[in-house]
Amino acid sequence: MSTFKFICPHLKTFGICLFSLIVISNRAKAQTSPRVNSDNFNAWVVYNGQHLLTDKIGLHAEVQIRRNDGFSSWQQLLLRPGIFYKINKNVLVTAGYAYVETHPYGEIPIAKTAFPEHRVWEQLQLTQQTGDVDITNRLRLEQRFFGDAAIGMFTNVRFENRVRYMLKVNIPLGKTSPLYVPVYDEVFIAFGKNVKYNTFDQNRFGLGLGFNTGRYTKLEVGYLYQYVQQRNLTANYNQVVENNHTLAINLFSAMPFIKAK
């Protein structure tokens, strides 16, 4: 039995558990506090690099510039390096660090000033091809250390865990066309003693147009809908839900840092 065939059924079971958690969490939140909706219009520019250093080991290099109100002001800056290991052509495991700087944005900002966050993360990624369609399953676990959102310093540190699961399909527009349609959804579940109001942390759904620009690179431009439950209540004890409508521009590179044999 291959590694992929062994792991895939377990991911399906995990997906069912995640869905159950979402339903339970949503019902609980609906019963305990009224919700206030905040609509935001953002733009994310992302570089995502997977660069082989040896035949099996490589560097994950990721930069995300997230802007609010179009491109006019900051939403977040995210830097996410890591090291990955290729178990085989379909299975990739990665571990790394991330730095996130979150700024006040939108009608109901989560902070008074920009504040830092440090993360440690681990990831399992499975890829397969069904016909001409590329399918990616990604499971990521994060240990998150938040700075003080009131003063913008890395003090009074708050710790949370979060697990994320993403399913993505790339649908080609013809057998010889470099164009394709990426469709994906990612669910985020927060857990730990410091998580009170956002067990179901967020969900992201994306749809766009992709272009294979070369052997190692591709560009995707599309729409991302991000549903976010803020971790704190308002002064009136309302749950704040962000509906973030986002222009997503993603550049992917798999350029190896080793010479081809």
User: What letter would DSSP give residue 70?
Assistant: T
Domains of the chain: 3-253 (2.40.160)
The predicted-structure confidence for 27-57, as pLDDT tens digits, reads as follows 444 445 588 999 999 999 999 999 999 999 9
**pLDDT tens for each residue of 97-120:** 999 999 999 988 988 899 999 999
Structure confidence at residue 259 (pLDDT): 76
The confidence score (pLDDT) of residue 198 equals: 86
Three-class SS of 71-128:
CCEEEEEEECCEEEEECCCCEEEEEEEEEEEECCCCCCCCCCCCEEEEEEEEEEEEEE
Per run of 10 residues, the mean pLDDT along the chain (length 261 residues) is 46 52 48 78 98 97 97 97 97 98 92 96 96 96 96 95 98 94 98 91 97 96 96 80 97 90 58
pLDDT at residue number 20: 55
Pairing of strands 57-68, 73-79: antiparallel
Alpha-carbon span 191 to 21, nearest angstrom: 11
- Tokens (6 digits) for 191: 């857990």
Tell me the pLDDT tens digit for each residue of 126-147. 999 999 999 999 999 999 999 9
pLDDT computed for residue 155 by the predictor: 95
Q: Which of 165, 51, 156 is nearest to 111 (CA)?
A: 156
Strand partners of residue 59: 51, 83
Task: Report pTM.
Answer: 0.86
Torsion region of 167: left, alpha or beta (phi above 0 gives left; psi -120 to 50 gives alpha): beta
